[in-house]
Chains A and B, each alone.
Chain A
Amino acid sequence: MNLKSALIAALVLFTCVPFTRAQNLNSKTRVAAFAKLPDWSGMWESDAFVGQADGQQFSEDALKRMKARAESMRPSFTPEYQAKYDEIKKSIQAAIAADPNHPPSTHQPLCGSPPFPATATPGMFEWRVTPEETTFISTVGAVRHIYTDGRSHPSKDLLWPTLMGDSIGHWEGETLVVDTIATRRRIYIGELTGFFAPMSDQLQFTERIRMVDHDQMQIDYTVEDPIALTKPIHSVITYVRVTDFDRMIEEADCEENERDPVVNGRFTTVTH
């Protein structure tokens, strides 16, 4: 093989590696690509969390919104997964009955590791919209990367369940359509003290994210899992622009002064 052939072979190999980005825009093209993107600047939060008081107590309006949303998102499990859900729920009910003063910690507290989708967790967040990627950054420590450079999901042998999974997206006008797979195989159930119901490796999330108007965004949200669900879960989550604050301040640092430690699987409180 002469030098020219070797260079060509190396170039072909380089362009075929699985992690190569599909788009490689030069700066002029990239500036033009930015101009086509919607303006999602500013800080946002779920409408469910507007109006919390000093002790994080929800307003009646917020509770109503959350309940309505929960109803729309109630899962319909297949018999196999309904049995798993029932078993978990029963064990939590027994744990609560055994010691109602110290509820069981049935899910990880939201310190630095909010589960997918981070967009539904409390706290303020920002978007960074670029031609190649849209990034979600929240005050509770979550960062989501949504690749919009035309790539596909990695092949199955390169995927495993992670907190945020693998997200790819594309723009349909000013709506970002996101497909996410390879999250941890679970969905959050807000009953009792909150817990995760197991799901299968077919779990898939689709989000259609758009601005409704200057001060409102919506995520049209679908959860599919043909093994665990008899029908997809579908809901719309609304986000409102934060207008009473202008900075992102980290709030997920639980090492600083955690006074509600989990001891033997139960929440406790250190009063002094």
Chain B
Amino acid sequence: MPKRHNLLIAALLCTCSLMIAAPACAHHSRAMFDQTKQIILVGTVKDFQWTNPHCWIQVLVPDPTNPQAAAAEWGIEMGAPVELMRKGWKPGSLNPGDKVTIIANPLRDGQPGGLVVSVTGPDGKIIGHPAAPGSRAP
């Protein structure tokens, strides 16, 4: 089993919130993710998919209690490429073999997948930055 901790409830309830006449969530509902929970995945990038409508990180997560077992593959959903670029990501921000630590909201159905909250890269730094009015991408 991958290392999995429930962290503090972030209370980021996606209400897609009540805007009349037009959906507020990009592309689709996120209700399949449990946004009251966060998990930490420590593993190795298998694939970084810089694609529409969403980018994905495929990450191989070994079981620290059983090093002989095969690593579990997790799929972590992100925003669209244009959204990530605005937050400092680039198509080459991650490459296969990179060691990463990912915080994510897990899928409700127990499948090995989640919605990204943050990604720490091989250099120990969080990749990207939150968008803010007036800020500029590097």
Contacts and interface: CB of A to CB of B under 8 A. Distances in A.
Given A249-B85, A271-B74, 10 more contacts: A51-B132, A54-B83, A57-B14, A124-B82, A188-B23, A190-B20, A223-B21, A235-B20, A253-B53, A257-B54
B32 A56 contact: no
A244 interface: yes
Contact of B22 (A58, A105, A115): A115
With a 10 A CB-CB cut-off, give which of A50, A59, A190 has the most chain B CB atoms: A190
Contacts of A57: 12, 14, 35, 115, 117
A191 B132 CA distance: 27
A94 to B, nearest CB: 15
Interface residues of A, number: 76
Contact of B53 (A115, A251, A270): A251
B73 interface: yes
10 contacts: A69-B19, A120-B21, A193-B31, A233-B20, A243-B136, A249-B81, A249-B82, A251-B27, A260-B27, A271-B73
Interface in B44-101: 49, 51-54, 56, 58, 73-75, 77-87, 89
Interface of A is mostly: loop
Contact of B86 (A105, A110, A189, A244): A244
Nearest to B28: A109
A192 to B, nearest CB: 9
B54 A260 contact: yes
Contacts of B117: 53-55, 57
Nearest to B56: A259
A194 B109 contact: no
B78 A188 contact: no
Interface string A243-257: 111000111111011
